Amino acid sequence: MTPRRVAWILPGALVACLLLAASPKRPGSPDLSSSRLIDLTHAFDERTIYWPTSPSGFELKPLASGQTPGGWFYAANSFCAPEHGGTHLDAPHHFAEGGQTADQIPLASLIGPAAVFDVRVKAAADPDYRLTEADVRAWEAIHGPVRQGSIALLCTGWSSRWPDRKRYLGDDRPGDASNLHFPSFGEAAARLLIHDRRVRAIGLDTASIDYGPSKDFPVHRLAGEAGVPGLENVANLEEVPAIGAWVFALPMKIAGGSGGPLRIVAVVPEAPAAQ
């Protein structure tokens, strides 16, 4: 190799190394080989909770089940369900005209590091508790600023009430959503997370990202207008640490949908074993 050739390669390699070093990295990316997977999804069945005004629930009808003439087993079902019930996604279009529908939400909005706010003690004392801006700032005083691109999750303890409709919603009268009681996000806290901290999605373990008695759904409208998906009726959030986990929230890709059933999991890094 000629000296001129070497002289050309070395500066190029140096530039490449500098660019690689300067490129943004995503610390804490999940490593499945050393992580625990937590299913944050309630199973869909005849007990699945839907919004009280929903005309129907989850229905599973067998189409086939048994031995075929060829000698092998075969099973297939059909299912029918409203978009908004069980563990599910609220697409921005749910409360924002022209907002992204379920099939239009970028995958990047559904995968990210988790920031989990635990208000179980406060919610136990007040079933209508709403996460406050002060709660978020107190969390940040311990864990540092909420990382841009996080998925903000609110743990209220309500998952333990599933699928008891009365305890979960505060009322079990079909067709009547006027007397619901469960905790959720407050508008100021949601605004801080969505506009200032720029989270990708917000979710929680109750039936709505607005608290039970809400009549004007300010958090839904705020999230929808900002293009931020909502994740509702999430399970097992008490098993997810405040920081360090990654969340994958992948809904059914319904063309034109305002939401849909969601399979959501958390990837939690395990601490290295003591030597």
Q: Which residues are catalytic?
A: 94
For the stretch 21-52, what's the b/e string if a residue is b when 16 or more beta carbons lie within 10 angstroms of its beta carbon? eeeeeeeeebeeeebeebebbbebeeebbbeb
Torsion of CA 268, 28, 224, 95, to 10 degrees: -10
* Cα distances (angstroms) measured from residue 38 to each of 29, 75, 247: 16, 28, 9
Residue 85 vs residues 34, 46, 91, 123, 145: alpha-carbon distances, Å: 33, 12, 13, 22, 32
- Residue 72 CA to residue 153 CA, distance in Å, equals 45
C-alpha 243/C-alpha 55 separation (Å) is: 39
Alpha-carbon gap, residue 154 to 209, rounded angstroms = 9
How many angstroms separate the CA atoms of 90 and 263, rounded?
13
Report the distance separating Cα 260 and Cα 208, nearest Å: 14
DSSP bridge pairs for 151: 114, 201
Backbone angles phi, psi at 78, to 5 degrees: -115, 150
Q: What share of the chain is helix, strand, coil (3-state, %, to 5)?
A: 30, 25, 45
